[in-house]
């Protein structure tokens, strides 16, 4: 029993959450927003702006600076870090960090200098490609061709070659900057990088996040020699072996003990991807509960009885941190696309919500949208594809309520279509992420999926999942016991479908399917 800290290094923020397993309470939540709190890193949305929508890199030093700032902020609140019995965390998936020296071989962190200044000379690549990057189509084709095609990749790794996945990104780095690649001693993911910073040793990558690299053999749990060879030379030497998510990867480095007052020897459990972590934070590691996460990206995921793959090729199989597998479908046009509509028609979030709940109806009076403001991964559209169909005002973005509803309906129809391969239709959906506060969005999801929507009392499911994983390893409590205390539904949010609205989606669903077919996706 004790206090456990979970961290989540996501696209736009780093957040912390502490649970007290004895009291069954969340005792602390705090966050650093990359754009607002660290503007000097020039990443207003968490990544480095680039006019080429296919190129999306982040600054790994920003993530390190955020860690230091977050702990400083929490210490100022008077929180006693010495009470923490264990730490784990999660990171935005697929993003990769390149180091010219293994962290284990680098000098131990000194308390007389800032962490960023100690990490900077260790980077062999100044920026990190992140999950929003879609610039590696050529590398995907090359990797797939080298191993005998996408079906081989799917059977080994659970996914076909995917632009944002780490393997194709590593290959692009090798092709475009061979010298810098040759100088790279270690390639790691955002999740394992953050764990390495905390422990001062090279933390291994877990099966949850490692499965998003196009490199992990899901059955053996080892990097596939065939895929390593197809990706880049000497890659095996640059990767730590992959490990089960419940692996203790070290203890907090002396730096954190001395600067912030953590207890010496505080164990650190392997970090995982933000989606696998959310699976835990949503209490959904057993099959039967599907989760929709409405963060920067929108994702649909669920634990799987047996690994099943998406015949359309967009979905993925990742390691479930509680053992076994999970499926995931990710949509790049999530919150950033909703924000774009809200901005264009000048609606605040409360107005956006009212537009859906009070001013428009299911089916949106036949106004519809193809909502791809940015390149999309599901379905695969390498160029933005924004199409509006309906009234003149709607098509000119001059009907704010209908424009607001249209994007949400299109996103929900897309989530439903692209998760149909998971199997049985979900009767209950758990929704999380920043946009899950919006009842209008929840109502559209309920009606499109004809399912009951639940949210949890704790909204930061990735950070909660990290704290729960640390607690499970530290206390030996079962997942069921931990979920009963922490993954508790918010009884004030019970959004049910209405039969009339469910019926109203039959035609928009068919129309959306026709549009997908016409696009050949």
- Asked if 10 touches ligand ADP (CB under 6 A), the answer is yes
Segment 438-457, which members bind ligand ADP (CB under 6 A)?
438
Q: Are 203 and 270 in contact (CB under 8 A)?
A: yes
Minimum CB distance to ligand ADP smaller for 13 or for 414: 13
* C-alpha dist (Å) from residue 442 to 54, 493, 497: 30, 9, 10
Least Å distance, CB 266 to ligand ADP, is 25
Q: Are 11 and 46 in contact (CB under 8 A)?
A: yes
Tell me how far apart the alpha carbons of residues 328 and 99 are, in angstroms, rounded to a whole number: 29
Strand 489-495: give its sheet, edge to edge.
316-319, 325-331, 298-304, 290-294, 428-432, 452-456, 489-495
Quickly count: other Cβ atoms within 10 Å of residue 42's Cβ. Answer: 12
Alpha carbons within 13 angstroms on the beta-carbon side of residue 101 total: 13
- Asked if 12 touches ligand ADP (CB under 6 A), the answer is yes
Tell me how far apart the alpha carbons of residues 339 and 341 are, in angstroms, rounded to a whole number: 5
One residue of 13, 184, 188, 360 binding ligand ADP per CB under 6 A: 13
- Asked if 274 touches ligand XUL (CB under 6 A), the answer is yes
Minimum CB distance to ligand ADP smaller for 364 or for 438: 438
Omega prior to 444 cis, within 30 of 0: no
- Asked if 349 touches ligand ADP (CB under 6 A), the answer is yes
Tell me how far apart the alpha carbons of residues 10 and 19 are, in angstroms, rounded to a whole number: 20
- Asked if 437 touches ligand ADP (CB under 6 A), the answer is yes
Q: DSSP string of 380-417?
A: TBSS-EEEEES-HHHHTT--HHHHHHHHHHHHHHHHHH
Q: Which residue has its beta carbon closest to ligand ADP?
A: 434
Main-chain phi, psi angles of 192, to 5 degrees: -70, -30
Closest Cα partner for 21 from 476, 461, 460, 489?
476
Closest Cα partner for 467 from 86, 155, 80, 161?
86
Q: Estimate to the nearest angstrom the gap between the alpha carbon of 406 and the chain centroid.
A: 25
One residue of 433, 465, 474, 508 binding ligand ADP per CB under 6 A: 433
- Asked if 11 touches ligand ADP (CB under 6 A), the answer is yes
Q: Which residue has the tokens 């390498």?
A: 382
One residue of 21, 214, 296, 367 binding ligand ADP per CB under 6 A: 296
Q: Which residue has the tokens 């506060």?
A: 437
One residue of 136, 299, 436, 443 binding ligand XUL per CB under 6 A: 299
- Asked if 434 touches ligand ADP (CB under 6 A), the answer is yes
- The 128-157 contact track toward ligand XUL, x by CB under 6 A, reads ---x--------------------------
One residue of 281, 283, 295, 401 binding ligand XUL per CB under 6 A: 295
Minimum CB distance to ligand ADP smaller for 86 or for 434: 434
Q: Residue 392: left if φ>0, alpha if ψ -120 to 50, beta else—which one? A: alpha
Least Å distance, CB 388 to ligand XUL, is 26
Segment 5-24, which members bind ligand XUL (CB under 6 A)?
10-11
Q: Which does 196 bind (CB under 5 to 8 A by kind): ligand XUL, ligand ADP, none?
A: none
Q: Are 187 and 97 in contact (CB under 8 A)?
A: yes
- The 57-76 contact track toward ligand XUL, x by CB under 6 A, reads --------------------
Q: Which does 275 bind (CB under 5 to 8 A by kind): ligand XUL, ligand ADP, none?
A: ligand XUL
Minimum CB distance to ligand ADP smaller for 172 or for 338: 338
Tell me how far apart the alpha carbons of residues 76 and 288 are, in angstroms, rounded to a whole number: 42
Q: Which does 164 bind (CB under 5 to 8 A by kind): ligand ADP, ligand XUL, none?
A: ligand XUL
- Asked if 330 touches ligand XUL (CB under 6 A), the answer is yes
Segment 310-329, which members bind ligand XUL (CB under 6 A)?
328
Helix (H) and strand (E) counts in the chain: 22, 22
Closest Cα partner for 297 from 325, 338, 350?
338
Q: Which does 349 bind (CB under 5 to 8 A by kind): ligand ADP, ligand XUL, none?
A: ligand ADP
Q: Which does 12 bind (CB under 5 to 8 A by kind): ligand XUL, ligand ADP, none?
A: ligand ADP
Segment 378-407, which members bind ligand XUL (CB under 6 A)?
none
Segment lying near ligand XUL (by CB under 6 A), choices 48-56, 92-100, 360-368, 474-482? 92-100
- Asked if 339 touches ligand ADP (CB under 6 A), the answer is yes
Strand-pair partners of 198: none
The residues of the shown chain that bind ligand XUL, judged by CB under 6 A, are 10-11, 92-94, 131, 164, 212, 273-275, 295, 297, 299, 328, 330
The residues of the shown chain that bind ligand ADP, judged by CB under 6 A, are 10-13, 295-296, 335, 338-339, 349, 433-435, 437-438
């Amino acid at each position: 029993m004790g206090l456990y800290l979970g961290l989540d290094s996501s696209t736009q923020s780093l957040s912390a959450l502490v649970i007290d397993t004895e009291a069954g309470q969340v005792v602390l939540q705090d966050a650093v927003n990359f754009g607002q709190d660290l503007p000097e890193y020039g990443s207003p949305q968490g990544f480095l702006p680039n006019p080429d929508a296919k190129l999306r890199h982040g600054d790994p030093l920003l993530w390190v600076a955020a860690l230091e700032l977050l702990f400083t902020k929490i210490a100022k609140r008077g929180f006693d870090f010495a009470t923490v019995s264990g730490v784990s965390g999660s990171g935005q998936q697929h993003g990769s960090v390149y180091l010219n020296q293994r962290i284990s071989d680098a000098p131990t962190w000194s308390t007389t200098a800032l962490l960023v200044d100690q990490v900077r000379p260790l980077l062999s690549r100044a920026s990190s490609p992140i999950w929003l990057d879609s610039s590696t189509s050529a590398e995907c084709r090359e990797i797939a061709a080298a191993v005998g095609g996408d079906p081989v990749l799917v059977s080994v790794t659970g996914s076909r070659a995917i632009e944002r996945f780490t393997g194709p990104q590593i290959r692009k780095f090798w092709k475009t900057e061979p010298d810098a690649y040759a100088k790279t001693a270690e390639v790691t993911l955002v999740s394992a990088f953050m764990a390495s910073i905390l422990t001062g040793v090279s933390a291994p990558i877990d099966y949850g996040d490692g499965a998003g690299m196009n490199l992990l053999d899901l059955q053996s749990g080892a990097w596939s020699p065939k895929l390593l060879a197809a990706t880049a030379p000497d890659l095996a030497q640059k990767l730590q072996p992959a490990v089960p998510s419940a692996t203790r990867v070290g203890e907090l480095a002396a730096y954190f003990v001395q600067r912030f007052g953590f207890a010496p020897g505080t164990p650190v459990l392997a970090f995982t991807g933000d989606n696998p972590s959310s699976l835990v934070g949503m209490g959904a590691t057993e099959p039967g509960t599907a989760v929709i996460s409405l963060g920067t990206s929108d994702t649909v995921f669920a634990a799987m009885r047996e690994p099943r793959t998406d015949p359309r090729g967009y979905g993925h199989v990742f390691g479930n941190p509680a053992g076994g597998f999970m499926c995931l479908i990710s949509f790049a046009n999530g919150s950033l696309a909703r924000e774009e509509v809200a901005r264009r028609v000048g609606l605040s979030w409360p107005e956006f919500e009212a537009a859906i709940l009070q001013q428009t109806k299911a089916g949106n009076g036949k106004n519809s949208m193809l909502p791809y403001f940015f390149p999309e991964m599901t379905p695969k559209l390498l160029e933005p594809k924004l199409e509006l169909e309906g009234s003149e005002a709607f098509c000119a973005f001059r009907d704010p309520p209908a424009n607001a509803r249209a994007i949400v309906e299109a996103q929900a129809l897309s989530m439903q279509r692209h998760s149909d391969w998971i199997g049985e239709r979900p009767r209950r959906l758990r929704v999380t992420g920043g946009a899950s506060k919006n009842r209008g969005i929840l109502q559209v999801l309920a009606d499109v999926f004809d399912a009951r929507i639940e949210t949890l009392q704790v909204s930061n499911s990735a950070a909660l999942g990290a704290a729960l994983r640390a607690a499970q390893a530290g206390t030996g409590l079962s997942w069921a016991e931990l979920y009963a205390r922490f993954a508790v539904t918010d009884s004030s949010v019970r959004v049910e479908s209405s039969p009339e609205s469910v019926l109203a989606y039959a035609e928009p669903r068919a129309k959306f399917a026709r549009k997908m077919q016409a696009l050949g996706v």
